[in-house]
Amino acid sequence: MIRPLIRPLAPRDPHEEHRTASPLELFTDLCYVVAIAQGALTLEHEIAAGHPAHGLIWFSVSFFAIFWAWLNFVWFNSAYDSDDTISRLLTLLQIFGSLVLAAGVPKIFEEDFTLGIIGYVIMRIGLVLMWLRASAGHPERRRTALRYAYGLIAVQAGWVAALLVTGGHLPLWLFIVGVALDFGVPFYAELAGTTPWHPHHIAERYGLMFIIVLGEMILSVTLALRVAFDEKDPPMELWFVVAGGVLVTFCAWWLYFSRDNSSILTGNDVGYVWGFGHYVIFGSAAAIGAGLAVRIAYYGDHAEVSDLVSSAFVTGPVAAFLLMLWVICVRLHDPSLRTAIPFVAAVIALVAVTFVPYSELWAGVIFVILLVAVLRRTPVSASA
């Protein structure tokens, strides 16, 4: 079927039944995950080389750039999606920008933002043009759409100016200032009127991205299995990585999807906390994969890092994941002590097992105990 070249970019119905992610949206998510994989791989190398603090800082920076670009696209497409030829081309332009950003992720760890900013600006050109189309197709939210467009243009001008002045080597404080300005655009724009995003569609997009990011953990477990079967005399500890990685991955999936997140997305007040909080959810999941890979290298004597540090890069991200999952998801369904106590206890236990041998296995066991405790207190009707 031939797609129409241009049709009005009218708002989608936020109560539309059976709203699901389109094939183009799924393709977009897959391409953004290329950048996430680059960040996780570079983090793994930094830790294994004995630079854990440096790796953690710049992984957080690069991951935020990836996440923020993806997030803005997701929320726009939930409110406006004509799926005409122009929309597809603008989406593909943003995908191309994400690939440029992905290519620049390893350089960000070297404090060189050149490729990252170029990729980011390419993505934003596509998004600005989409917002300008929305301003014409949705008169009731014209001010909102124009605030988004002009705000994005102003911030991108700032990023380009910073790139030209610093030659790409932005100091961390300047990056934080740029992030703060970028972060303020949706808050400023939505004051003129809320865009008609779809709760079920948003929850589905985030859930699909989470599943893809879980692939980073699966990749690390697969690597451990490959090493175990390929080496003539593999370290026995590799099996602890396999067992712990499998338990953490499976339980993370089960726990995240144990409740219907779309039911709590009732407005921007909840949507902001839930949506932005996934930076920690997704980032922790990717970091767990890197941590498991480092544990493999440590057990194989291929890492210049201590048992404690390599252990912390498994238990730490798992604890961060659980804590944020309770804050932005579980708490909004059930804020009582019956959910708070198991999650807090699990986080404390994860900190404790960081200091004992085979922490990755203990992390998996703690996750299983938490899952059983939480599911026993979750009404059947609340399950996704």
Lowest mean pLDDT: which of 184-193, 226-235, 352-361?
226-235
Asked if residue 311 is part of any domain, the answer here is yes
Residues 217 and 173 in one domain: no
Tens of pLDDT, residue by residue over 167-178, are 989 898 999 999
CATH of the domain at 218: 1.20.1410
Residues 321 and 376 in one domain: yes
Residue ending a domain, among 190, 224, 247, is 190
Residues 39 and 135 in one domain: yes
Tens of pLDDT, residue by residue over 320-349, are 999 999 999 998 888 888 889 999 999 999
Residue ending a domain, among 172, 190, 208, is 190
**277, 255, 242: which is closest to 342 by C-alpha?**
255
Domain count, the chain: 2
Residues 146 and 249 in one domain: no
Residues 101 and 238 in one domain: no
Residues 270 and 248 in one domain: yes
Within 10 angstroms of residue 37's Cβ, the number of other Cβ atoms is 19
Tens of pLDDT, residue by residue over 5-60, are 566 677 888 888 878 888 888 898 888 888 888 888 899 889 988 899 999 999 99
The predicted pLDDT at position 115 comes to 93
Beta bridge partners of 80: 11
For residue 112, count CB atoms less than 10 angstroms from its CB and return exposed for 0-12, middle for 13-18, buried for 19 or more.
Answer: middle
The predicted pLDDT at position 363 comes to 95
Whether residue 381 has pLDDT greater than 50: no
Residues 84 and 152 in one domain: yes
Domain hosting residue 113, numbered range: 23-190
CA angle at 326 for the pair 213 and 295, rounded to the nearest 5°? 45
The predicted pLDDT at position 81 comes to 79
Within 10 angstroms of residue 71's Cβ, the number of other Cβ atoms is 19
Residues 166 and 204 in one domain: no
Residues 215 and 170 in one domain: no
Tens of pLDDT, residue by residue over 207-255, are 999 998 998 788 877 877 776 677 677 778 888 888 999 999 999 999 9
Residues 182 and 254 in one domain: no
Asked if residue 16 is part of any domain, the answer here is no
Kindly state the percentage of the chain with pLDDT values over 90: 54
Cβ proximity of 138 and 130 under 8 Å: no
